[in-house]
Structure 1
Amino acid sequence: MADAMVSGLLDQLASIIREKVEEKMRLVMGVETEVENLQNNLQAIRDVLVDAEKRQLKEENVKRWLDDLKGVTYNIDDVLDEWSILILQPNINEKDENGVQTVVVTKKKECLSFLFPCFPSKQVNQTGLRLEIATKIKDLNGKLDNIATTRDRYKFDIMRATDEPSRPITTAMINLFEVTGRNEDKENLINKLLYESSRERRDHLIVSIVGMGGIGKTTLAQLAFNEIKSKFDNGIWVCVSDPFDETKIAKAIIEQLMGEETRLVELEALMQKLLESIKGKKFLLVLDDVWTYDHRKWEPLKATLRHGAFGSRILVTTQKKDVALRIGEGAHMIQLKRLTEEDCWRLFNRVAFLGKEKTDEENFKEIGRKIAAKCDGLPLAAKTLGSHMYFKTTKKEWEDVLESELWDLEDTNMKLFSPLLLSYYDLPSVVKRCFSYCAVFPKDALIDRDDLIQQWMSQGYFNSKKNMEKEAAGLGCFNSLVMRSFFQDFEEDMERNILQCKMHDVVHNFAQFLTKNEYYSIREMENVNQIHGGDIRHLTMATSSTTSAEVPISILKERSLHTLVVSGIDAIGHDQFLHMKYLRTLNLTGCNTELPEIIGELVHLRYLNLSNNRRLKELPTSVGKLWNLQTLRLVHCLNIEKLPGTVGQLINLRHLYASYSYNLMQWPKEIGRLSCLQTLNGFQCFGDDDAKNDHETNLGALRNLNNLHQLYIRGLGDAANHADEAKQAQLHSKKGLLHLALYFSNRTSTMEIHEKVLQELNPHPNIQNLTIKQYEGLVFPSWMISLNNLRRLSLAFCSCEVLPPLGKLPCLESLKMIDMSNVVKVGPEFLGIEAVDHDNYLESSNVVSFPNLKELEFHFFDEWKEWVGTNPERWKFQNPTVIIMPRLQILNISYCDNLETLPNFLARVPLQNLSVRICPKLKMRRRKEWAKVCHIPNIAVDDLRIVVDRIREGSTS
């Protein structure tokens, strides 16, 4: 990772020097020479870092040399960032004619200091500043000189790190079926979970899967869980990790059973709620990745779980046999063995040659088998190596991997990392650094892709991307790591874009190994004293949910932290913030704490996450000083009521999230000054009943936000003037807007106001995702069927009586409709096919309705009685000139109490999955209805899977 850090510094230096030349800035005498020497030293050191990083695995002296280098580079980064802040420091000017403060970025004509003091503010004369500059730069350069001199004694080979991937990145293999050689284990596991008697014991049968890291325990558990969970009332999956936290486990079980978050934090209350939630239910509970056993914590949980129905099962995965024996019984334990060499080869081969020509497989088969044999029977190693070899195109490259000295590492843990090291060293420099940053996440954490990319951005990883947005550069890095199998367990959208993912435990351990002295994680506050040394730059702190603690000042002193992630800690005050001045990333998710005014002094901060904070009511006005801030997350802050007008000074803000913060009603009109904003999620319109004050904003404030990609608006139609305001928002001019959600209010609104507002909120045709909720108009606006790029549409809680002609949308892939209680009939108008004269119809050109629709859902249509796609008197749909839903794969219908029939055209639709739930009048076994759907391979009715052949044989009129 050192090469990525040094490369980033050189890019930063080049950028600052370019600004100096362009603006004719004058440096302090003697400092310019020091800066030039700094640049030369960094360039010379960068040339040997590829060799140095490989040699550190076996040579302790080299490792110490790299650690020293990283420490100096972090210090240089802090200095350069302050220089940049001074050069591009904004001026907050007077209010304009509309009463809104203007923010202008001005470049300093003369740079007097690298290190402008943030804590505390004070007056320093120019002479002092000039001496400080000279001393600081000279000191940093002296340290770098020593490192450069020491470099020569190691006789490093000169080689440059990869800057770009050798082949184009795709995501074709991200959902590759991973289970190979486990059929017997899977059948054995399913038999234990379904068929083995619990011998009338009060305890539920506990089954354990035991095996070393990377052997496939979780994959096997997932395979069985997904196959048999429908046999239970509830399927529950909990990632346990270390330590065994019964409070966290109980809370996770309750939330999965209830389908919503619980505010309970006390163990006794949680156990009582768990008992109520699980009593009498037959459940399948997976406790994944259990490391420790403490009978004081396990027995109360186990006793509560006994109240589930007979036949409930608990499945435990663990690396430790003694843990499995203490929790369960040896008779119900499955010890996973390593894959055979042949199974390893099959898995390796499937990944390495995905989408390639058969001749490629034949040419590399002999070498490939030898490489696969080095996987030592571990599926993770086979998949990782296969991903690595996917990018190798010559015999020489394959031979280099086979003969790599990384296979000769003696340490047992290091041997497990060998496949990962091979793939890691092959990554471009910036991707290496992105992967290493993932060490900040707790084990088993669910990682949001966009959130991860925004944290990478906050660390300055993408400064060198001249012609690419930082978000696009981050997405490229993310996809590179996906293709190299560093991420897994993907959650995707309809377009197969990854939304969330996880890291395998072994991969997470590998990331922590790479960043041993830079990243540190504290799981319980009693472990604080274990932290030694001042080299830590990224710190994660967490406590159990029942603990009320504060961040100790002792671990913040004398450390220039760049990242601080805190959870379960309520007390973070003025004194703590005094020691956070170089932070780039501050994540306080789940911390119920107010922010002190001193937060405004964290001028280096790029990312601030305050989500899930139940105490936060408002942000301090000093947040306006965080003008470097790029991401602000206020998701699920239930008590926050307003944003200060100073947020309009956050001129670099790109992403603002405030979804599920329903009390955040007062948004300042200064929000319209954030011209860099790409994401505005949870924006609230004021209503007629809201008190008018300076904090309120309206839709007109969106007028100049022309870089928006994602916009979610709440409270629409709750004021008579919203139609005029909607027109002023000028959504039709925002070409980059791809995701739009419009949530209407029914507090004081009328049907006419809703219709006028929605008509004026006419987005640009580039829109790809549209959600409309609580719309009370009877008709939808005409612009809906002109959205030629729309791919996903969701309509919920709308009052319309007739569905719009959505079949005309050429790119629509997903259509979901929920609670459209006034719809009685869905007819040909929904398909978007114009009515024509019967005699002349066949002379018209081919017509395709819903040409790209893949997924269609109807839920809670209370009055819906009839779904017809044809009018036999006037239409000849059986004629091939009319094609309906030619690509539909999934149809889900639920809670439609009065629906009696399905349309005839379904018989000619290539459906793969049909789900019908709680539709009592829709008799699927009737011959007439069955004829429409009998070709569908996967049919589920009221959660009971139907065997198609059996219905075909038994169906009657």
Structure 2
Amino acid sequence: MPDVGGAALGAVFGELLQAVVVASVKAWMFKSLLKQLNSTLESVTPIVKEIEKLNRDLDRPRHETDKFIRKLEQGEQLVRKCSTIRLNCFKRIFYAYKLQKLDTSIASFFQVDMVAQHSRDTKETLVKVNEMHSIFKRPDGKENASGFKPFKIIGACSVPDPPQIVPGLDVQLEELKMDLLKKGMQVVVVSAPGGSGKTTLVKKLCKDDKVKGKFQNNIFFVTVSKTPNVKVIVQKIFKHKDCEVPELLTDEDAFNELGRLLNQIQSEPILLVLDDVWSGSESMVQNLKFQLPDYKILVTSRFVFPQFGPGHNLKPLNEEDSMTLFNHSAMLPDGTLYIPDQNLAYQVLCEVCSYKHAHMYLSSIVRACKGSPLALTVVGRSLCGQPEEVWQIRVKEWTQDATIFYSNTDLLVPLQSSLDALDNKIKECYMDLGSFPEDQRIPVTALIDMWMELYKLVEGRYAIANLNDLSNRNLVNLVVTRNTASHNGCYNDHFVMQHDLLRDLIIHQNMLEPIEKRKRLFIEISGNNFPEWWLEQTLHPVNARLLSISTDETFSSSWYDIKAPLVEVVVLTIQTKKYTLPNFMEMMDKMNVLIVTNNGFFLAELSNLQILGSLSNLKRIRLERVSIPSFDMTTIQMKNLLKISLVLCNVGEVFRNSTFHVSDAFPNLKEMDIDYCNDLDELPDGVCDIVSLNKLSITNCHKLTQLPEGIGKLVNLEALRLASCAELEALPDTIGNLSNLNFLDISECPSIKELPKQIGELCSLKTLSMRGCSSCELPASIMNLKKLEVVRCDEETAFNWEQFEALLTNLKVEEVKEDPDLNWLHN
């Protein structure tokens, strides 16, 4: 038993832990719950020690942990009481529920309360750093006008956090740790079928105290995937170490540069984690081996690589661990597990449930999942809170013969059933996710564009509802990278992640139909090797509505024609530095959505853009991480284009082109979204002539200093977002002409020192978001905003609104605390 010791918190914590150990022997009917509680306590023991030490060092007040200490004291009494419970069924249920709640509340304290305290401490540290910065300010004045340094992302290869519950991995973890820490074996391989917990095991290993103690800050976690990009992997490692990122021309350059970097830090142990390595990438792993004294490579793969040694093969979970994981996945928010029973339909805990029907349901479902962690998680989530009839149907489906996804495994049978259980509308949306590469975050805005046109959705919120449905079934993970003010229909910081196994399921389902009958064509081109059916299809057109083409970094943009007259959505995923749009798109008369995403490390220069002028039905364009060169755009006119999104693009060259008239090219545009376009220093005046525009979003464009005076001509504008434009100095006086504007966001625009007095003329304004604008002065005309309902801001800015909040009867000032989530950066 770990000895916490120390001051009050540590002492009480240690007494609870000792009580749990004793009760685990006496209270056999609560054995599993006490085992889980003991695991939770032991996992947070190092944190408790650190809290005690830091509180002493920093002279923190003890009242911050008093409430938690009382909870621990109550928990000790509860655990000791459990040792006295014998055959009383109702008391067993009652105390089992109490134990579950205790475990949840302890975990919650460290996941919520401690995170909040950590956030406060971080901000206090930042204040101190800023104070020091003001003292030691550079004399050369090389700062932004606002005093802000450019935002820089670090930790590009950081280890993601493992799931909260990871049963059945303790033995494998110790064996893997032993191999990793001993001398001799340089490459250690963990192999198992998809969804078996390989990545989870490695994440947990990298968070182990002994592993972190040895490798310190030299643990690099990179996802390799089916088509590895060695140059991007190496560039991420350089970025992680905050070194200058080299431009690499070949894979050989990448290996050489990485070798030089690792040689510079060879005095310290190094661990390189290569997650999801596919068959055929053995030579890449071999080339990443360097003759360094304490350098290890840890590989996870669905395949076995005997040339690197025997490796570690993960086994399916046993029945007990499977039940634990399933229970956790199917658990309701209040910590209970709903197990339907034909005669007694109420909530009981699995720990004490001995009813015939409940046991039958659980045993059948767990057996059907075949010990697959992913299957248990997905199925558990899909059955959470469902009525008995749904459980009965699922049990019947999963115990009958079904099509096996791979000939050598039946792990995907429950997942296939979960997919089939979707109604047609949601299933169609889910199948579209195969358009995007594995191991990549999918922008929610791209899915909204796709689904609104494919399924004729009236508003984007219907697409969000579909995503939430898929997320609730655990078929996708929704990631919000910045949890700030209410989005008000803006989802630029929302992403979707899908597991490789589930994407494989989509691809497999799609391949069951012949090429010419498929609704979707998912095409991956390696080099210039087109699939055979493409070269043979000239006589037989395909009938797909969605065309997705992924090309690698060696693709030359030499296209063969394809006849696909029914295509409505084209998704192009690229990696080359130069990319030419295919001419065959010119013949796609029904095409109304184009999505181009560059997953290479450097921006891709996009050419042949003039072809878009021939697509008369094109309604939505989304470009990400591309450079748009200056060219003659006078011939381009897209009368039906409703929305254009430019994300992380270079657009300055074409916007400054005198021959490019935005209003002529897009006369009926409704939405324009410009995000993270760092070369945008001014908005073209022509944008102000697009009177049809009702949503304009310019965010994270740090070189933008001003808006054109003509913005007042956008009389139909309803939403204006200017968030995180650090150099934007003011809003133009003509903004008062925007009589239909109901939403304005100037959050994190610190250079705006005052709002124009014309702001009071925004007669339709309902929501104003201005987080991070505490130095912005508010004019007296604010009193004229009679329809203003919500101001979202930080605590400092809220102080400026106190005098107006009392006078504007409909106004509510909401203080919003930013909660950035950077765990997705490793992708």
User: The TM-score by the shorter chain falls in which range?
Assistant: 0.5 to 0.7
1:380 equivalent among 374, 381, 399:
374
Determine helix, strand or coil for the equivalent of 2:654: coil
Name which of 449, 455, 471 aligns with 1:454: 449
> Is 1:354 paired with 2:332?
yes
- Aligned twin of 1:513: 508
Q: How far has the Cα of 1:626 moved from its partner?
A: 1.5
Residue 592 of structure 2 aligns with which residue? 606
1:470-549 aligned at under 5 Å gives the runs 471-488=460-477, 490-494=479-483, 499-518=494-513, 534-535=516-517, 538-542=520-524, 547=527
For 1:390, the aligned partner's letter is C
Q: Which residue of 2 aligns with 1:624?
A: 613
Residue 762 (structure 1) shift:
7.7
Retained in 2: the 8 A contact 1:244–1:292?
A: no
Check whether the contact 1:765–1:789 (CA below 8 A) recurs between aligned residues. Answer: no
TM-score, normalised to structure 1, is 0.54
1:576 pairs with 2:576: no
2:393 alignment partner AA: D
**Residue in 2 that maps onto 1:585:** 569
Matched-pair contact (CA < 8 Å) for 2:510–2:518? no
Residue 190 to residue 764, structure 1, CA distance change in 2 (3 Å): farther
Does the CA-based 8 Å contact 1:214-1:381 persist in structure 2? yes
Secondary structure of residue in 1 paired with 2:494: strand
Q: 1:704 aligns with which of 692, 695, 703?
A: 692
AA of the residue aligned to 1:677? K
Partner of 2:74: none
- Tell me how far 1:319 sits from its aligned partner: 2.9
Q: Which whole-Å CA distance do the structure 1 matches of 2:770 and 2:172 have between them?
A: 37
Equivalent residue, structure 2, for 1:910 = none
* Maintained 8 Å contact 1:661/1:682: no
Q: In 1, distance between residues paired with 2:759 and 2:270?
A: 44
Counterparts of 1:488-887 in structure 2, within 5 Å, are 488=477, 490-494=479-483, 499-518=494-513, 534-535=516-517, 538-542=520-524, 547=527, 554-557=535-538, 558-560=540-542, 561-562=544-545, 563-568=547-552, 570-572=555-557, 576-577=560-561, 579-590=563-574, 592-595=578-581, 599-612=585-598, 614-616=604-606, 619-620=609-610, 622-641=611-630, 644-645=633-634, 648-657=637-646, 659-662=648-651, 663-665=653-655, 666=657, 667-670=660-663, 674-675=667-668, 677-681=670-674, 697-706=685-694, 708=695, 710-712=697-699, 724-730=709-715, 734-735=717-718, 737=719, 739-741=721-723, 743=725, 754=730, 756=732, 766-767=742-743, 770-771=746-747, 778-779=753-754, 789=767, 793=771, 802=775, 831-832=799-800, 852-855=815-818
Query: 3-state SS of the aligned residue for 1:360?
Result: coil
What is the alpha-carbon distance in structure 2 between the residues aligned to residue 244 and residue 517 of structure 1?
27
Distance 1:716-1:757 versus aligned 2 partners, 3 A rule: farther
Matched residue count: 603
2:316 paired residue among 328, 334, 338: 338
* Whole-angstrom CA distance in 2 between matches of 1:571 and 1:804: 54
**Change beyond 3 A, Cα 1:314–1:756:** same
> Percent identity over the alignment?
18
Aligned to 2:193: 212
Cα deviation, 1:623-664, whole Å, max 9, x if unaligned, reads: 233232232123332252257255543414334325421433
Unaligned ranges ≥5, structure 1: 1-174, 520-532, 691-695, 816-826, 837-842, 858-889, 893-957
Alignment deviations for residues 927-946 of structure 1 (CA, whole Å, 9 cap, x no partner)? xxxxxxxxxxxxxxxxxxxx
In 2, the alpha carbon distance for the partners of 1:760 and 1:208 equals 64
1:437 maps to which of 420, 425, 432? 432
SS of 2:627's partner is coil
Q: Distance in 1 between matches of 2:409 and 2:758?
A: 60
Q: Is the 8 A contact 2:595 2:621 kept in 1?
A: yes
| CA apart distance, 1:427 | 0.8
Q: What is the alpha-carbon distance in structure 1 between the residues aligned to residue 347 and residue 391 of structure 2?
A: 12
Instruction: Report the counterpart of residue 285 of structure 1 in structure 2.
Output: 272
Superposed counterparts of 1:34-433, under 5 Å:
177=163, 179-182=165-168, 184-185=170-171, 188=174, 191-192=177-178, 196-198=181-183, 205-225=186-206, 232-242=216-226, 246-247=230-231, 249-254=233-238, 256-257=240-241, 263-281=247-265, 283-292=270-279, 296-303=283-290, 306=291, 311-320=294-303, 322-323=304-305, 325-327=306-308, 329-330=309-310, 333-355=311-333, 359-361=346-348, 365-370=358-363, 371-390=365-384, 392-393=386-387, 395-404=388-397, 407-409=400-402, 411=404, 415-433=410-428
Partners in 2 of 1:185 and 1:779 — Cα distance? 62
Shift of 1:429: 0.5
Which residue in 2 is equivalent to 1:170?
none
Q: Distance in 1 between matches of 2:738 and 2:245?
A: 35
Structure 1 contact 286–314 (Cα < 8 Å) conserved: yes
- Cα distance change of structure 1 residues 252 and 335 upon mapping to structure 2, 3 Å threshold: same
Between the aligned partners of 2:374 and 2:560, the Cα distance in structure 1 is 41
Give the corresponding residue for 1:945. Answer: none
Say if 1:299 and 1:830 are closer, same or farther in 2 by CA, change over 3 A: same
* Root mean square deviation, CA, Å: 4.9
**Residue deviations 1:213-254 (CA, integer Å, cap 9, x gap):** 222111222344456669633443322233566456445544
CA displacement at 1:399 relative to structure 2: 2.0
For 1:315, what is the secondary structure of its paired residue?
strand
Q: Which letter does structure 1 place at the counterpart of 2:384?
A: Y
Contact 1:367–1:402, Cα closer than 8 Å, also in 2: no
**Structure 1 residue 674: Cα displacement:** 4.8
**Which residue of 2 is the match for residue 13 of structure 1?**
none
1:267 to partner: Cα distance: 1.5
Deviation readout 1:99-127 (Å, 9 max, x if unpaired): xxxxxxxxxxxxxxxxxxxxxxxxxxxxx
Cα deviation digits, residues 780-817 of structure 1 (max 9, x gap): 5579999874567467xxxx9x46689x99977786xx
Query: What SS does the aligned partner of 2:743 have?
Result: coil
Amino acid at match of 2:416: L
SS of structure 1 residue aligned to 2:624: coil
Relative contact order, higher structure (CA 8 A, sep 6+): 2
CA distance in structure 2 between the aligned counterparts of 1:283 and 1:766, rounded to whole angstroms? 54
Equivalent residues of 1:291, 1:318 under 8 A apart: yes
1:55 matched residue in structure 2: none
Alpha-carbon shift at residue 354 of structure 1 (Å): 1.6
Measured at CA, do residues 672 and 443 of structure 1 come closer, stay the same or move farther in structure 2, by a change above 3 Å? closer
1:406-463 deviation per Cα after TM superposition (whole angstroms, max 9, x unaligned): 54348565732221122222211011122223333333333222223433445x2x13
Q: Which has the larger radius of gyration?
A: 1
Partner Cα distance (1:789, 1:759) in 2: 15
Aligned-partner Cα distance in 2 for 1:246–1:685? 27
- Tell me the residue number matched to 2:41: none
Secondary structure of the equivalent of 1:632?
A: strand
Q: Is the 8 A contact 1:549 1:571 kept in 2?
A: no
Distance, in Å, in 1 between the alignment partners of 2:403 and 2:648 is 51
- For the 8 Å contact 2:720–2:741, the answer to whether it is kept is no
Q: 1:687 to 1:275 in 2, by over 3 A?
A: closer
Indicate the SS of the match to 2:496. strand
Distance across 2 between alignment mates of 1:427 and 1:699 = 43
The DSSP-based 3-state class of the residue aligned with 1:286 is strand
CA shift in 2, pair 1:634/1:508, >3 Å = closer
Please tell me whether the aligned partners of residues 606 and 629 of structure 1 are also in contact (alpha carbons under 8 angstroms): yes
Distance 2:430 2:797 in 1: 51
Matched residue SS, 2:606: coil
CA distance in 1, matches of 2:744, 2:192: 45
The DSSP-based 3-state class of the residue aligned with 1:593 is strand
Find the residue that maps to 1:439 and give its secondary structure: helix
- What amino acid is aligned across from residue 318 of structure 1 in structure 2? S
CA contact (8 A) 2:190 2:312 kept: yes
Change (3 A) 1:672 1:792: farther
CA contact (8 A) 1:456 1:474 kept: yes
